[in-house]
Amino acid sequence: MKDPGLVMLRKSPYPYWFLIPGGLVFTVFFLVPSVMAFWFSLTRWTLFDQEFIGLDNYVQFFREPALASGLWHTLVYAVVTSGLKVILGMALAVLLTAPILGRGFMRSVAFFPVLVSTIGVGLTFQVLMHPTEGVINQILGWAGITGPAWLVDPDWALLSVAFVDVWQGVGLATVIYMAGILSIPGEYFEAAKVDGASAWHRFRRITLPLAKPATVSVILLSLIGGLRKFDLIWAMTKGGPGFTSDVMASVIYKQYQAGFYGLSTAGNVVLFLLVILIALPLFWFFNRKDDNQ
């Protein structure tokens, strides 16, 4: 780059057309539908023709408790899964960076569920969570605890699915935290130990603050994932019993199945806005400093 004039004259070795093939697919199959969703959500729509009906779909969406409650459930689900993944992910990461036997194997075991079919996990836990015959309540019974009816109890259904989500996803949170913890210089812990800091103090004053970037990643990732969750809920409860575990993504699918395409798309737009409203402020708040490489 000694002579900028010469470089300008030559054709750039980085032509913009390299962006076209990928950009085209991304635009046609992701961006265009996303933008069109705003229009279709204002119509009564059969895929072949549309009739403009203004905000009727949205009115219907928020007026029908079965639909509107999905919005609330989505928030609960995202917050519960995200919070538990932060706490348990951190705890497992501390455990798995401690000097214990079989550490490597346990790291693999904790991470593997992330890669297993979510539907498979959902159906497996549906059986394990059977109210009377299920293994989970059997084990709780040995400990003298009467377990809830899990998926068939309206008060527990959504939480039960959220717990399974945490079981499946906590491994990712754990490896993110482990990467954070292992990047903390060992001298910090040494020095603190010499100064007589207890294990809890070392965790509280060193690990926790220095693992903050990891916490940010885990929160963002699991919130965004939780808000969009569909497959696990569909495999385990299909939104039931009643509508007690229906979330936005399952509402969207049910309305689509029922042929209410406009209403389904309105739900989709609501979900968009929900994700943007929650993710964007967090994103900007956390990412202000480390903009680009």
Partner 1 sequence: MSTRRLSWPLSAVAISLFGVVFLLPFAFILLTAGKTQQESAALEFSWPTRWALVENFVAVVEARDYLLIIAFINSTILTVASVSVVVVLASMAAFVLQRRKSRWTKAVNLVILSGLVLPPAVVPTIWVLQKLGLFKTMPGLILVEIAYAMAFCVLLFQAFIAGIPKEMDEAATIDGAGPLSLFFRVVLPLLRPIIVTVVVVQTVFIWNDFASPLYFLPGDENATVQLTLFNFQGQYTNSYNLLFMDILLITVPPLVMFMIFQRQIVSGMIAGSVKG
Tokens 């900007």 belong to which residue? 284
Counting other chains too, the contacts that 19-26 makes at CB distance below 8 Å and 24 or more residues apart are: none
Query: What minimum distance in Å lies between the beta carbon of 84 and partner 1?
Result: 13
Please identify, using beta-carbon distances, which residue of 46 and 209 lies nearer to partner 1.
46
CA 34/CA 44 separation, integer angstroms: 18
Helices (H), 116-237: 118-128, 135-142, 157-182, 186-194, 199-202, 208-210, 212-228, 231-236
- Residue 277 contacts residue 56 (beta carbons within 8 Å): no
Query: What minimum distance in Å lies between the beta carbon of 167 and partner 1?
Result: 7
4: exposed, middle or buried (C-beta count within 10 Å: 0-12, 13-18, 19+)?
exposed
Query: What minimum distance in Å lies between the beta carbon of 192 and partner 1?
Result: 11
Query: What minimum distance in Å lies between the beta carbon of 188 and partner 1?
Result: 10
Please identify, using beta-carbon distances, which residue of 19 and 208 lies nearer to partner 1.
19
Please identify, using beta-carbon distances, which residue of 34 and 198 lies nearer to partner 1.
34
Residue type for position 224: I
- Residue 249 contacts residue 229 (beta carbons within 8 Å): yes
Q: In degrees to the nearest 10, what's the CA dihedral of 195, 200, 203, 206? A: -30
Please identify, using beta-carbon distances, which residue of 65 and 101 lies nearer to partner 1.
101
Query: What minimum distance in Å lies between the beta carbon of 73 and partner 1?
Result: 15
Query: What minimum distance in Å lies between the beta carbon of 224 and partner 1?
Result: 6
CA 41/CA 55 separation, integer angstroms: 8
Length of the chain: 293
